[in-house]
Structure 1
Amino acid sequence: MVIEWLQVRVAPELREKYIQKDGEIWTAFLARCPGFLGKEVWLNPNDPTEVILVIRWATREQWKSVPPESLEEIERQFVQAMGEAFPIVQLAEYQIRKFPQA
């Protein structure tokens, strides 16, 4: 399994709308992509502007096979729904390593 980790800055007064529209637009789109396993939204209790999106993919190949044109179109729809863009502050990729049970 591969984790796509995104940190976004969102004004506190827009945070709930951001999370709602992200679910309606981005998560709904990703749910139709092969290899998408799920998504979580993490909120920092010490920084109300920080939103972390944790997206689980079965394989890196499936994640990276999502067409860039599709991603651009979904981002356009999201920006239109929100009225502004929210740039990614930081992004990372992680692999989950499971160990055999003893």
Structure 2
Amino acid sequence: MVIELLKFKVAPEQREHYIQQDAEIWTTALAKYPGFLGKEVWINPNDPTELILIVRWATREQWKAIPVEDLQAIEAQFTQAMGESYPIVELAEYQVRKFPQLMSN
């Protein structure tokens, strides 16, 4: 599994609207692509402007196979719904490594 981490700055008064639109537009669109496993929104209790989106993908290849044109169209739809653009503040990728379970005697 691969984790896509996206960090955004969103004004506190826009946060709930942002989360709702993200779910309706981005999550709905991404769910149509092979390899999409799910998405979480993390809210930083120490910084009300910080939102982190965690997207889980089965493989990096499936994630990166999404056409750039599709991503641009989804982003345009999201920007129109929000009335402004929200640039990514931080982007990271992580691989999930599972360890074999420890055997008990």
> Scaled by the length of structure 1, what TM-score is found?
0.99
Pairing 1:63–2:43 present? no
2:89 aligned counterpart, secondary structure: strand
Opposite residue 99 of structure 2, the aligned amino acid is F
- Write out the 4+ residue segments of structure 1 that deviate beyond 3 Å after TM superposition: none
In the alignment, which residue of structure 1 is the partner of 2:22?
22
Identity of matched residues, %: 72
Opposite residue 17 of structure 2, the aligned amino acid is K
Paired residues for 1:11-90 under 5 Å: 11-90=11-90
Tell me the matched-pair count.
Answer: 102
Opposite residue 78 of structure 1, the aligned amino acid is F
Q: Within 2, Cα distance between the matches of 1:77 and 1:18?
A: 13
Task: Give the drift of 1:96.
Answer: 0.3
Once the two structures are superposed, residues 29-76 of structure 1 have per-residue CA deviations (whole angstroms, 9 ceiling, x without a partner) of 000010000000000001000000000000000000000000000000
- RMSD, matched Cα: 0.3
1:92 aligned counterpart, secondary structure: strand
In the alignment, which residue of structure 2 is the partner of 1:95?
95
Opposite residue 31 of structure 2, the aligned amino acid is A
